[in-house]
Amino acid sequence: MKRIIPFLILSLALCVNVFAQDETFRKNIMIVFDASGSMGESLSRQDTVVKLVAAKSALKQVLQNTDPNTNVGLFVFGNVRNDYPYPIGPVDRARLYSAIDEINYGGGTPLGEYMQKAANKLLEQRAKQFGYGSYKLLVVTDGEAGDYSLMAQVAPEVLKRGVTLDVIGVGMTQAHQLAKMSSSYRAANDSKALRAA
């Protein structure tokens, strides 16, 4: 019996290690990227870098440091041919950067609609992972939602479902309405602050 117990402990430790590396336990980040018309404006009077250029650069920098065992997905609204250019999955930086490079600004801000789409994809992924892993919805936006009532319904529902909701407000003069509804809110009113956020 004394010999069996250490063997069982070792076997259990090996199983835990195997499961930890399994795709079932992956982190998952779904990004909603605002490329509406106002993203063609400068970050501020002091920082004349175009919001879209700064946001794309900052996003690439963040992805460069992302854990390779993280699943990432990208939704974009604006002047784009494909609003879901990178379906959630392992990070292929070349393909992901290419999708980011193709983003152009234009149009309105259907934030609620795209938060809902992104949250649905995260929940589908969670079902595939049998509920394991972590799930984050990251919203990068420079303006208030054109569909505010939908956004106000979606945000608390996202949190209720156990999904973290992080928001970065790009070059905004005041905190976004989502600041009060999200897990975290970061203001990025210049290039340095955007990279830090």
Question: Tokens representing 122?
Answer: 């995260």
pLDDT of residue 84: 97
Distance CA 61, CA 46 (A): 23
Percentage with pLDDT > 70 across the chain: 88
User: What size, in residues, is the chain?
Assistant: 197
User: Closest by alpha carbon to 164, among 191, 134, 187, 196?
Assistant: 134
Rounded average pLDDT over 163-177: 88
Rounded average pLDDT over 128-145: 94
Judge whether 171 and 44 are in contact, CB under 8 Å. Answer: yes
Question: Tokens representing 121?
Answer: 């994809």
**Cβ count within 10 A of residue 100:** 20
Percentage with pLDDT > 90 across the chain: 61
User: Closest by alpha carbon to 82, among 90, 94, 92, 74?
Assistant: 74
